[in-house]
Amino acid sequence: MMVELQKETEQAISSDKPGFVERRKEPLCSCVESSMKRYFADIEDTPVSNLYEMVISEVELPLLRTVMEHTRGNQSKAAELLGINRSTLRKKLAKYQLD
């Protein structure tokens, strides 16, 4: 089952199946939206700055961890999977002390 899911994910990433990819993105999009609504409700009128950086780092860290685990630490494969260049990946790994 896990191997089949992995193959489907790789196919969706590497192919032109917009419907399949969209189904995968929707739960994440909904999760981020509901988390942001809760965040704003929790902070009420407290001033906030650097919200974009905070949200990106909250998502990017587990993304990088999971991809590096999936590729067994192979930075070339991870960069390809993420659609970024390997030097960019290295910078991101260093930023989060994952190197």
- Write down how long the chain is: 99
Residue with tokens 């790994």: 93
The pTM for the full model equals: 0.65
Give the integer Cα–Cα distance in Å for 62 and 69. Answer: 10
- Given a cut of 50, whether residue 95 has pLDDT beyond it is yes
The pLDDT of residue 51 is: 94
pLDDT single digits (tens) 34-50: 999 999 999 999 999 99
Task: Annotate 55-80 with b (16+ C-beta within 10 A) or e (fewer).
Answer: eeeeeeeeebeebbeebeeebeebbb
Going by pLDDT thresholds of 50, 70 and 90, the confidence category of residue 2 is: very low
pLDDT in tens, 65-81: 999 999 999 999 999 99
Q: Which domains does the chain show, CATH number per domain?
A: 1-48 (no CATH), 49-99 (1.10.10.60)
Residue 1 has what pLDDT? Answer: 42
Taken in order 14, 20, 67, 32, the sign of the CA dihedral is positive
